Amino acid sequence: MPRRGTASQRTETLRGGYYLGADPASPQVGDLKISFEVVKPLTVSIVSRQIGGTFEPYMTQVGRPIQILEVGPLSADTMFAQARSSNSTLTWVLRLVGVLVMWFGFALIFAPLAVLADVLPLLGDIVRLGTGLIAGAASLGISLVIIALAWLFYRPVSRYSSSSSAQARCTAYSVCSNSAKANAPTSDGKL
């Protein structure tokens, strides 16, 4: 293998760049392909921490970094709204993928039942349909529980306000139902 800078290598122009090596049609390990591109100046908006002449991610109070770069002049509110929207979309896509992967997993767990039922062809199809529906229902139910638990874990302020409002509703229902029972007429017609 020729070494860099030896006489066996030559420099050729290749599609707007340079190729340093023996043969551009048969590149070898150590050959170099050099190309240049022009990046024209444009306006960008950035949410980050400026240190001297450069930027680094801003560390939030919870210890997570934030660094957002968007093309064009945008306000901070707009950039954060777009980031929230993008994050929400990604979250729902990942949740859907999780449900589908769980459904596939449950379907694989139940697949031997359908194989056993294939002794009678019609029975195998019915069992396969039934296990597919059971797998779908189980994966949807478990996924909803996991999503709810994750939501409560990552939003503790919402958790406490939700549980407080749920407690208030239960207490109000209990008080209303007890007072309704107390004011209900008895079998002899008296209150």
Give just the sign of the alpha carbon dihedral 45, 48, 49, 54.
negative
| Helix (H) or strand (E) segment spanning residue 5 | none
Candidate from 25-39, 77-91, 92-106 with smallest mean pLDDT: 25-39
Q: Is the pLDDT of residue 160 over 90?
A: no
- Average pLDDT of 149-176? 64
* Predicted local distance difference test score (pLDDT) of residue 78: 93
102-158 residue pLDDT tens: 999 999 999 999 889 888 878 888 999 999 999 999 999 999 999 989 888 887 665
Examine the pLDDT at 43 and tell me if it is beyond 90: yes
Closest listed residue to residue 139, CA positions, set 91, 98, 93, 90: 98
Query: 112 or 14: whose pLDDT is higher?
Result: 112
pTM > 0.85: yes or no:
no
The token pair that represents 70 in the structure block: 């968007």
Q: What are phi and psi of 97, to 5 degrees?
A: -60, -40
Q: Which long-range contacts (CB under 8 A, 24 or more apart) does 87-96 make?
A: 95/143, 95/147
Strand partners, 140: none
Report d(CA 185, CA 183) in Å as an integer: 6
Tracing tokens 């929400």 back to the chain, one arrives at: 88
Nearest-angstrom CA–CA distance, 180 and 133:
43
Average pLDDT of span 89-102: 95
Cβ contact 48:56 at 8 Å: yes
Residue 163 reports pLDDT greater than 60: no
Delimit the domains of the chain by residue range.
88-176
Q: What is the pLDDT of residue 59?
A: 92
Are the CB atoms for 36 and 14 separated by under 8 Å?
no
- Split at pLDDT 50, 70, 90, the class of 188 is low
Q: Residues 141, 113: contact at Cβ < 8 Å?
A: no
